[in-house]
Chains A and B, each alone.
Chain A
Amino acid sequence: KQEVTQIPAALSVPEGENLVLNCSFTDSAIYNLQWFRQDPGKGLTSLLLIQSSQREQTSGRLNASLDKSSGRSTLYIAASQPGDSATYLCAVSQAGNMLTFGGGTRLMVKP
């Protein structure tokens, strides 16, 4: 059974800092890995999708990497801003047309 773990569970940083969020998964037989952002009480907003054959994806200040063989992904956020404050979730897609989610990292960026 796939298990996804995110470290740290919570993170507080001053504005402008670069930061890295970590995601690990136990079963490397994945189709892809997706990073989401969730604001309190809201739905999930997709940030980046990395296919299993890819090593990284970039969108603006965000860069996600994937090392399928070691079961790890990182989300790098450059020059953090208060508007980046949210919970970040990683999820892996496998056979069965379902996502398995990590517990999330709650990020607070202080002005």
Chain B
Amino acid sequence: KAGVTQTPRYLIKTRGQQVTLSCSPISGHRSVSWYQQTPGQGLQFLFEYFSETQRNKGNFPGRFSGRQFSNSRSEMNVSTLELGDSALYLCASSAGTGAYGYTFGSGTRLTVV
């Protein structure tokens, strides 16, 4: 069965621009969560969606937003990019509560110049 698919794999953007990342979860999984990974801060939780509703949000500025579609695919948007937004963005899918664990995608490497 197909895993978690993230697109694109790599992105280079200029400060001030905005970016949209996409994540398709494992078939049948209705929960998608997003994480930011940087060398200095490690892996940090951004937000989680279940059945098109955001259930939880991490401590990130409002420039970071997301949404989930009826087919469970999710997008994450970052507006007014800053150099510090350069990171590996990972999404994870789960069946619902995380009781059966999380499966991660390969990530999108975002570089802001």
Contacts and interface: CB of A to CB of B under 8 A. Distances in A.
A98 B94 CA distance: 10
Interface stretch (A15-23, A34-42, A68-76, A78-86): A34-42
Task: Classify chain A's interface size.
Answer: 20 to 34
B98 A32 contact: yes
The B contact surface, by secondary structure, is: strand
Contacts of B48: 96-98
A28 interface: no
A42 B106 contact: yes
A43 B107 CA distance: 6
B45 A34 contact: no
A83 to B, nearest CB: 19
Interface in B52-110: 55-56, 58, 88, 90, 92, 94, 97-107, 109
B104 A44 contact: yes
A46 B101 contact: yes
Contacts of A103: 42
Contacts of B97: 31, 97
Given A42-B107, A49-B101, A91-B43, 13 more contacts: A43-B4, A43-B90, A43-B106, A51-B99, A93-B98, A97-B56, A98-B33, A98-B98, A99-B35, A99-B45, A99-B92, A99-B98, A101-B35
